[in-house]
Amino acid sequence: MASEKRNYLLEQVVAVVVSGPQGKVLDLGCGNGRTGKMIADRGFPVEACDMDSDRFEFHNVIPFRQGNLDSRLPYDDQTFDCVILMEVIEHVYNPGFVIGEISRILKPGGRLVLSTPNILNISSRLRFLFEGSFDFFREPTLDYAKCFPVAIQNMHVIPWRYQDLEYLLARNGLEAGRVLADKRKMALLFPLLLVMPMILIQSLTKVTRGRAKGGVDYVRMSTILLSPDMLLGRHLIVESIKKAPAIP
């Protein structure tokens, strides 16, 4: 019997959560619940929430509530110290509402640990150049919906650039901090080396032009977008902290 494939994303998300202060954790959009179970095994109090109760495997271990991300979450304000949103934000049509609800149920200083496909790695950038689609977003959305209507909840709807995700968080009182990847794909080093000179020239030109015109200084964002995790990582993991007030 073949051994189960290692899940680097799950391992990294768990590592980020347990590296912070111990507190009450919500695994939101928990699926089978294995992420929350791994965190509970490390001594954290964990609850889980998903629209599919049957898929959840740990009803006798972790408190579970059924919830739909289109509606108000079934929790009081400032209930949790940490919320996990693992591979969910790319599936929802109402991301502002979802992140707002997470901010509502987080305590001040609480953390959101979020993951999503990294559409800015070099593989995805090259795919968009030649195909017009990002990694993880190759299927035409309408055609996918028609072919697989019973699996519509599995469809990737919104590809998130880090820049847009950071702004979405800030609008809801969450300040993005650590940006990590699940695993750097070393197979991407060769194509990266081929195009890196052009990427660096473009980035330097943008920074120089921005400084000459005044306004936005692109150095901060360029540093993030040119990091090894961003260029080589398959999935992004963003840790943010609840701070007030939200920006307009």
Q: How many separate helices (H) and strands (E) can be counted in the chain?
A: 9, 7
What's the pLDDT score for residue 68? 93
- Classify strands 80-86 and 106-117 as parallel, antiparallel or unpaired: parallel
What's the pLDDT score for residue 1? 45
Instruction: For domain 8-120+151-183+234-242, say whether CATH 3.40.50.150 is its number.
Output: yes
What's the pLDDT score for residue 152? 76
How much is the CA Rg of the chain, to the nearest whole Å?
A: 19
Task: Judge if pTM exceeds 0.85.
Answer: yes
Angle between helices 122-131 and 189-213 (to 10 degrees): 80
Domain extents for the chain? 8-120+151-183+234-242
211-235 residue pLDDT tens: 888 888 899 999 999 999 999 999 9
117-132 residue pLDDT tens: 999 999 999 999 999 9
Check pLDDT > 50 for residue 33: yes
131-160 residue pLDDT tens: 999 999 998 888 988 888 877 778 889 999
Q: In this structure, what token pair is assigned to residue 119?
A: 């559409």
36-87 residue pLDDT tens: 999 999 999 999 999 999 999 999 999 999 999 999 999 999 999 999 999 9
* Letter string b/e over residues 140-155, b meaning 16 or more CB atoms within 10 A of that residue's CB: eeeebeeeeeeeeeee
What's the pLDDT score for residue 120? 96
Check pLDDT > 70 for residue 2: no
What's the pLDDT score for residue 99? 98
What's the pLDDT score for residue 5? 82
Q: Which residue has the tokens 């993005």?
A: 176
Share of the chain above pLDDT 70, in %: 96
Q: What is the mean pLDDT of the chain?
A: 93
What's the pLDDT score for residue 214? 84
Q: Which helix (H) or strand (E) holds 107?
A: strand 106-117
